[in-house]
Chain A
Amino acid sequence: MSKELILMVHPTAGVLAILAALWALVECLNASATNVIRIRIASVAAAMMMWSAYVAGGYWYVVYYGADKALIKGGPWPFAHNFFMETKEHVFLSLLLIATFLPIAAFGDLVSSRSARQLVLWSSALIILFGLGMEGAGAFIAMGAKVALLAK
């Protein structure tokens, strides 16, 4: 697989994780015995997609990002690395833990416990919020590389 395709897996899996978290959130707003299985499926899907985004993005970051980093830092948008990439790479670790926690919370007693549902609702909401932040930061990083190339 080419390195560009590996890089594309990262935001694609990230978006799918956000959508799965949104699915879990909406199902959980109307939690009952009839849809609890769907909440759990959505939660597991969100975790699996987030782990896929982590592995693909992490591999690309560790192996290939060095050249892009030098390019961005030497270009007109150095903040694309100095702020957005640095923040993204470290906040992502926290997001990965939230996504790992979601299925653990979803396997609680969602039908009879309001508190268990609150944990799923808020964890899903955090995944959506942080996930969108990651996508936005990724756009800044890509643009940072683009404007650096255009400036050459």
Chain B
Amino acid sequence: MISTRQQRASDNLAARTTEGAVGRYSAGFGIALGVTSLLNAILVIIKETYETAVLTAMTALTGHHWVSQGIIDLVVFLIMGIALGRIAERWQNSPGLILAWALGGPVIGAAAIASFYLK
């Protein structure tokens, strides 16, 4: 008879000794997260640099430029995540690539935004 503690230790051991691919939507949305975060940073720099053209247009879209930016980000993230998820077989076995996008995109994006406003 195996105790709960032994079973858990056995589960943990099994869990730590395999690599494995990531799910198709984890892959698709992971890449979409990175791309959208970079796009978010680029959009900030463009709208603040070209206030009269871009910021005004984004404000006119919803009544507030930040609301427009949020909607653009979410739409891009969802559409790209679903689309990439459907063709994710080619990336599912490259978890390093997905991790690089999912982590690198937000970190680089945040650093770019902070640097932009620090100037």
Contact = CB atoms under 8 A, between A and B. Distances in A.
Interface of A: 30-34, 58, 61-62, 82-83, 86-87, 89-91, 93-98, 100-101, 104-105, 107-119, 122-123, 126, 130, 133
Given A62-B64, A90-B40, A122-B99, 5 more contacts: A83-B118, A89-B66, A91-B110, A94-B37, A112-B14
Contacts of A87: 110, 113-114, 117
Interface residues of B, number: 48
A26 to B, nearest CB: 14
Interface string B77-119: 1000100000000000001001100110111011001100110
A97 B33 CA distance: 6
Nearest to B106: A94
**Interface of B: prevailing SS:** helix
A123 B22 CA distance: 14
A116 B99 CA distance: 10
A112 B17 CA distance: 8
B30 A105 contact: yes
B26 A105 contact: yes
Interface of B: 4, 7-8, 11-12, 14-16, 18-23, 25-26, 29-30, 33, 36-37, 40-41, 44, 63-64, 66-67, 69-70, 73-74, 77, 81, 95, 98-99, 102-103, 105-107, 109-110, 113-114, 117-118
Contacts of B14: 111-112
Given A90-B113, A91-B110, A94-B37, A111 B15 contact: yes
Contacts of A30: 12
A114 B18 contact: yes
Given A58-B67, A94-B110, A119-B99, A112 B15 contact: yes
A115 B95 contact: yes
A133 B111 CA distance: 12
B114 to A, nearest CB: 5
